[in-house]
Amino acid sequence: MENKVKEAGRKTESGEEKTRYGKSEAILRAAAKVFARSGYFNAKVSEVAKTAGVADGTVYLYFKNKDDLLTSIFSWAMEEFIASARAELSRAADPREKLRRFAQLHFSLFERERDIAIVFQIELRHSTKFMEQFSTTYLAEYLQILRNIIEEGQLAGIFRAHLNSKVVAKFLFGVLDEMATNWVLSHKSHSLTAMVDPVLDIFFNGVIESNA
Amino acid sequence: MENKVKEAGRKTESGEEKTRYGKSEAILRAAAKVFARSGYFNAKVSEVAKTAGVADGTVYLYFKNKDDLLTSIFSWAMEEFIASARAELSRAADPREKLRRFAQLHFSLFERERDIAIVFQIELRHSTKFMEQFSTTYLAEYLQILRNIIEEGQLAGIFRAHLNSKVVAKFLFGVLDEMATNWVLSHKSHSLTAMVDPVLDIFFNGVIESNA
Amino acid sequence: MENKVKEAGRKTESGEEKTRYGKSEAILRAAAKVFARSGYFNAKVSEVAKTAGVADGTVYLYFKNKDDLLTSIFSWAMEEFIASARAELSRAADPREKLRRFAQLHFSLFERERDIAIVFQIELRHSTKFMEQFSTTYLAEYLQILRNIIEEGQLAGIFRAHLNSKVVAKFLFGVLDEMATNWVLSHKSHSLTAMVDPVLDIFFNGVIESNA
Amino acid sequence: MENKVKEAGRKTESGEEKTRYGKSEAILRAAAKVFARSGYFNAKVSEVAKTAGVADGTVYLYFKNKDDLLTSIFSWAMEEFIASARAELSRAADPREKLRRFAQLHFSLFERERDIAIVFQIELRHSTKFMEQFSTTYLAEYLQILRNIIEEGQLAGIFRAHLNSKVVAKFLFGVLDEMATNWVLSHKSHSLTAMVDPVLDIFFNGVIESNA
DNA sequence: TATGAATGAGTTTTCATTCAT
DNA sequence: TATGAATGAAAACTCATTCAT
């Protein structure tokens, strides 16, 4: 994720970079933490600033407003995720293996960054405004990656050819999303990545007994 | 739906009850409409009151506060849904058919009551508070119904016996939920019920070609 | 001025009227006092509310925002002034006497209501926005009254016929306005109405010695 | 105007002076432009800096604060005006002609420097603080010049001897000021200097028909 | 001199909720 | 029950000014 945040700063000399990028990133991480803890609407910008160790006004030097903080968390994380997903997928050949790695990456990101996970599964769903923005940008890209794998599998004769790949992609996203939400809400915090295999088993083979 | 709303009011004399329930329901429907239109946080109680045709203060005679309006919409609709689901399921014998009817009922309710659908898919997810409340009450009941059908199918040798029924239930909920959210956000508003069969096909049979 | 403010309230029973109208008027008078004391920009709405003896939010039940307070003071006072000017003028026949009464009324209003005078001479001139609004509405009406008197005097052969009545009206307004501003700024607060005769002498007869 | 601005800077070496004065003047002109466009209160110091082509902090090397910018515009222009007025007046003998030239100078300055005119007629009147400062310094000097001419005319038997020269001076200032404000607010922007003769005609001869 | 990133004080306005009628 | 006028707490955001470089 480092590199996304870096882009928010402006480069000068190497010595100063760390500090400057640190400020933008610090604010974004602080926002994720505060939003995760208090919920977006109850979160106070001054609390974000305090957590980031900057003055209130400084937040507004880096982000347009409170909404922009939320939006930035999500584009930051999504861009990061999609980039590493593409890299990861290139390392596998079998479509089934690709889907497994994709789901694994999705879940392990959340396990590593619980604040981000909470913001994604809960806070981002506040309003149709955010939802629609999410649907038409990053979610579309996420689904497209899934579709590509599915169509690849269909061409290879591995996945059932007549299935609508768009529906299949949404289907899988829905399942992963629900597992993620469930994990976020459960306080005992079982392993999320452990769900990958059971879930993909159902997704691949269905629930019906093959000789039924 | 009458009976749920009745409980929200307080009983006095029979003659007035009809009016009271009418008012309580009017307020709840108004709230759903206003929340769906403006989002819960931006919605004003005075707007709900105006839409319901009552004075601002009257809202507080029927509901404790703004939160209670949202909570009441959701318990009202869920209790209604679960009751009709149970009734509907008793009319089918095959577990596959039961799941089909269940999904059909879920989606047709949303198609009939779009405001309710929006509130369920978007507004209810505002905060961990609401999410947790939902998870531990009505969603638990919803999932239990699914589990019962699945376990019934497993005993009958129709569904794969070693699958964890709890995971399977969440899996199916995740898929249906995603389709519903997708439908709510898409402005062209394609048919939601038309998704039941394609989705269940994948759920039942998986995506992998059987001879693959 | 009573009647203007009354119109802001809504009539019910006679007993309550005094109180309700009192609130709107109290807020407006409080605003004039606070604006006169601190200047519009430095004045706090909460100070206005406190001075009026109401809660902060109550100000916004009667006025749209802080700007509206300033605008309302000025329309309230101008409408009042113009109404009494028209009434006063009907009692005089000679155009010279009419002008004298008009100026007298203008100045005596300010002497009676110093807060209003300060708001008019200083606070209203904050911005081209206010100035333009003032110029195109009430000032236009004020000038029209003067023009009518002047043209009446021209027809009667009393005032020089070839003078542009529009210019003459602005000329007189400029003089009266300057005297008013001067009086507002001078702390010793000499009589303003005492200036009517000396000023009109110059206006009527000019500064040049007639046999010069 | 150079010399006024020079005083605002602090002298160092001759080579740099040219640059410095240029910067000081650039900032002042930028301030006049920005204040004229946005109004003093809405104008941002950073906007002034940007318009002047310097960094925000640089403004504070030349001027104490935002108030000082406004004050400096006005003293800069007034000193300039009064100096050229004195020069101009020495070239005329007749008091009537002197007044004509004075008014002409006043108006032509505004026509040449519309931003300055706007600042003078609108922005300077923000607060009693500015008004009082203006009244007791430059306006006093302005009025004194007028008084001197008037008294000179009275001694010469040209102007009516018993008129209070102080009142006459304010009278004339009020008229010229009103014409200037009017011109600033009117968007069609007719000629302001064209008003000199009609206005002085009334001022000299009054409005009353001499044989009336 | 010049920069511009950082500061943080300060205020309008909204709106859920109450309560006298 | 029903009303709706009144309350008042609460927070995002701006921008003049500073100061380390």
Interface of A with B in 96-115 (CB under 8 A): 96
Whether C160 and C107 have beta carbons less than 8 Å apart is answered as no
DSSP B80-124: HHHHHHHHHHTT--SHHHHHHHHHHHHHHHHHH-HHHHHHHHTGG
Nearest CA-CA partner of C98 in C145, C134, C60? C145
CA distance B6 to B26: 12
* Burial of A103: CB neighbours in 10 Å, binned 0-12, 13-18, 19+: buried
Split at pLDDT 50, 70, 90, the class of D172 is: very high
Does D124 contact chain C (CB < 8 Å)? no
Q: Is A195 on the interface with B (CB under 8 A)?
A: yes
Residues A136, A142, A145, A151: what is their CA dihedral angle, to the nearest 10 degrees?
A: -70
- Show contacts of B98-101: CB within 8 Å, 24+ apart: B98/B149, B98/B152, B99/B146, B99/B149, B99/B172, B99/B200, B99/B203, B100/B196, B100/B197, B100/B200
pLDDT-derived band at A133 (thresholds 50, 70, 90) equals: confident
DSSP-assigned beta bridge partners for residue D208: C159
From the number of C-beta atoms within 10 Å of its C-beta (0-12, 13-18, 19+), residue B2 rates as exposed
Res C130: pLDDT: 84
Q: Which two tokens stand for residue D132?
A: 């009082």
Q: What is the mean pLDDT of residues B144-163?
A: 98
- Which chain D residues in 6-35 lie under 8 Å from chain C, judged by CB atoms? none
> What is the C-alpha radius of gyration for chain D, rounded to an integer number of angstroms?
19
**pLDDT above 90 for D9:** no
**Cβ distance of C199 and D167 shorter than 8 Å:** yes
Please count the residues of chain C.
212
Structure tokens given for B126: 């505002």
Residue located via tokens 């100026």: C103
Strand F contact nucleotides, protein CB < 7 Å: 1-20
Q: Does A181 touch chain B (CB under 8 A)?
A: yes
**Chains contacting C (3 or more CB pairs within 8 Å):** D
pLDDT band (50, 70, 90) for residue A212 = low
Nearest of C96, C91, C106 to residue C201 by alpha carbon: C96
A207:B153 CB<8 A: yes
Residue B166 or residue A2, greater confidence: B166
Radius of gyration of chain A (CA): 19
Å between D6 CA and nearest CA of chain C: 30
Q: Worst-scoring range by mean pLDDT, A52-61, A123-132, B29-38, C16-25?
A: C16-25
- Reported as a single tens digit per residue, the pLDDT across A14-72 is 333 333 358 899 999 999 999 999 999 899 999 999 999 999 999 999 999 999 999 99
Cα–Cα distance between B85 and C127 in angstroms, integer?
66
Task: State mean pLDDT over D125-140.
Answer: 88
Question: At B212, is the pLDDT very low, low, confident or very high (cuts 50, 70, 90)?
Answer: low
pLDDT at D212: 60
Encoding tokens for residue C200? 């009109």
Cβ of B55 less than 7 A from strand F: yes
* Cα separation, D107 vs D121, whole angstroms: 12
Most confident of C13-27, C125-139, C192-206: C192-206
Q: Are B176 and A188 in contact (CB under 8 A)?
A: no
Q: What is the pLDDT of residue C212?
A: 60
**pLDDT tens string D179-189:** 999 999 988 77
Q: Which helix (H) or strand (E) holds B132?
A: helix B128-136
Q: SS3 of A209, please?
A: coil
3-class DSSP assignment, residue A73? helix
Residues 6+ apart with CB under 8 A from D103: D176, D196, D199, D200
pLDDT at D159: 98
Nearest CA in chain B to A212: B158
Mean confidence (pLDDT) of chain D: 89
Q: Rounding to the nearest 10 degrees, give the CA dihedral for residues D71, D77, D83, D89.
A: -120
Cα distance between residue A173 and residue A203, in whole Å: 11
Please indicate whether, in this complex, the C-beta atoms of D160 and C209 are within 8 angstroms of each other. Answer: yes
* Chains C and B are touching, with contact defined as 3 or more CB–CB pairs separated by less than 8 Å: no
When comparing pLDDT for D135 and A165, which is higher? A165
The region of weakest confidence among A8-17, A77-86, B34-43 is A8-17
| Max CA separation in chain D (angstroms) | 69
Cβ atoms of C145 and C89 closer than 8 Å: yes
Least trusted range by pLDDT, from A81-85, A133-137, C185-189, D118-122: C185-189
Segment B75-90 mean pLDDT = 95
In this structure, of B20-29, B96-105, B143-152, C36-45, the range with the lowest mean pLDDT score is B20-29
- State mean pLDDT over A107-131: 91
Of A135, A163, A199, the CB nearest to B207: A163
Out of A135, A178, A199, whose CB is closest to B177?
A178
- Note whether C174 contacts D: Cβ–Cβ < 8 A: yes
- Given a cut of 60, is residue C142 above it in pLDDT? yes
Question: Is pLDDT of D53 > 90?
Answer: yes
The pLDDT of residue C117 is above 90:
yes
The answer on pLDDT for C77 being more than 60 is yes
pLDDT at position C33 over 50: yes
Q: Identify which has the larger pLDDT, C16 or B31.
A: B31
Range from A8-17, A50-59, B173-182, D118-127 carrying the lowest mean pLDDT? A8-17
Give the residue, A103 or C3, on which the prediction is more confident: A103
Q: Which residue has the tokens 């300057």?
A: C178
Instruction: Give me the pLDDT at residue B18, please.
Output: 38
Question: Residue C118 and residue C180: Cα distance in Å, rounded?
Answer: 9
Q: Give mean pLDDT, residues A97-126.
A: 95
Cβ–Cβ contact B198 with A under 8 A: yes
At C169 the three-state DSSP class reads: helix
pLDDT of the residue at C21: 53
Return the pLDDT at D22: 84
Separation CA D139–CA D135 (nearest Å): 5
**D8 Cβ contact partners less than 8 Å away, ≥ 6 residues apart:** D24, D28, D62, D63, D72, D76
Per-residue pLDDT at B19:
43
Given the structure tokens 């989606």, which residue do they identify?
B107
Percent residues over pLDDT 70 in chain D: 90
pLDDT of residue A1: 32
Decide if pLDDT at B16 tops 60.
no
